[in-house]
Structure 1
Amino acid sequence: MWKLKHLRHLNTRGPMKLRGSCSESTEKMWNLQSIPALLLNRQAISLIKKGTFPNLKRIGLKVASRNKGEFPILLQSLLQLSNLNNLEIVLRDRHDKGIEDSVEESVERNNGCKPQELLQSLEQFSSLTVLSIDNCLDLLTCAVTLPPNVTELTLSEIRCINDDGMNGLGNHTKLKILRLCGDNVPYENSFDLNCVEGNFPHLEVFEMEFLAVGKWKLGNGAMSRLNSLLIYRCGRLDDLPSELWCLSELKKVQVTEPSEQLTHILRNLELNNGIQLVMEDDLDRIYSYENLFWRNLLGRTL
């Protein structure tokens, strides 16, 4: 790989484990801008510290170890990447070696650090605008702090959210796009989303997928600039906040596979402010994608 001097984007099917080292400690890959999946270990960090990837803008990291306190220290080494603006972190889960299926999962048990330690280690990444964290589990059960300039945030495999976590997200004033994704495996417990007054002042796009949310409350002035809302297979959500329909910037609400009660409510809802409401089940969604595929294919062959 070190001989590919003009390489800009490196794509792999899974996390890449770096072995060996550059032939010379001063050798650099000046043109490399993105590595989508890199196993975060001491070897990778050693190369980053040497300045091997000086112009990296996007990187995906798979956590390799659950040694206590090691991950935040390794993460701090990425501060040398001054051009980094897109970071994806895949935390460890039950499928990783050394994690027992019978043990209740948490960020700390799986990765050797508390949620607060992980979040605090990200605060100094001032160049980041896009952040994604997978296998979040209980990450949103503490006061959330984000890198100061993040505008797009995706959090996946969420098991629980409390008021501390939601308030922390809502107080991040630069956030424009937020995706909260749960697990498509159903769990017994549900949770509430409480967006207090004035939270999410610049949020434009909000997406919820597979989230075990039971109730959603929206305070006055919260999400005041919301333009688009997507709710995908959140089967425990039986109603939407009445304040939602009063948002002056809201243009589209799309709900896929709503609960029976939410379906009834939305079908009887009268909208007079130009909001486009789309309801569909998953089969409709797949069918529309297939139609679009064939229309595009036939269009290219005519």
Structure 2
Amino acid sequence: MSTDLSISSLYNIKGKIALVTGGGSGIGKMIAEGLAKNGAKVYIAARKEAQLKAAAEEINKTSAGKVDYIVANIASKAGVDALIAEFRKRESKLHILVNNSGITWGAPFDNFPEAKGWDNIFAVNVKSIFYMTSGLVDLLEKDSTNADPARVINISSVAGIEAESEGSLSDAGNGVWSYNTSKAAVNHLTSQLAITLVRRHINVNAILPGLFPSKMTAFGFKTVGSDNFAASQPTGRYGHTEDMAGTALFLVSPASAHVTGNHIILDGGSRLLAQRVTGQVKL
């Protein structure tokens, strides 16, 4: 039997059904756009309907696939369950789950709030990943085989492997201790889920982005300036839509059928030069 190594075969996701949390903006929208433009049927979910509607309409104008949306708040298990219940009304199977929703909180080290600073961060960034994945596992494994497994992508961050909690993305005197810790937890949870689900033909991997434009990094871009940010990066630029979409496309395509339990760092090498100083910008 001959093996088809053409790009059209290795990266074919036409007809796949995907669900992307936090898909109305930033990294989630980048991934949703990449999937839809390559023929997948994509559902994006988030709290703000206007943002979801605008994103879906924009992507649908130029995509081979279709984007629809579900309004949801996954800061609690009840919210996750409501999203899953609504998805089940629309689809009987799921091929791709992207756990992208994430939030951050910055505050002084000696006055860091418990509820908003720790509890809510872990609820959205970590707990929702577990409950989204476990709650949809029967739909994920429905069509899956070892040659064509279902895919789960967890969006983590290079912050999960870095120890610096104070920097240009947080206001002066503030740190994001809970955010970094939550992303380290996402990395470990990804490995746990990969082990748990591999025999059910569900691949689980994490993408660890560095600097990408998003709502979460908007403060830093405004404060430091996009040109200064770009100059401070080893590659001379920050992450673009095609970088994120391309990485996600690999992780959900036939090309990565044998890839699970991996943490893919997507930062242009910035973690290797974390102490580099360009002008007044330190990353």
Give the TM-score range, shorter chain.
0.3 to 0.5
Q: Which has the higher helix share?
A: 2
Q: Which has the higher strand share?
A: 1
Higher relative contact order (CA 8 A, sep 6+): 2
- TM normalised by structure 2 equals 0.34
Q: Which has the larger radius of gyration?
A: 1
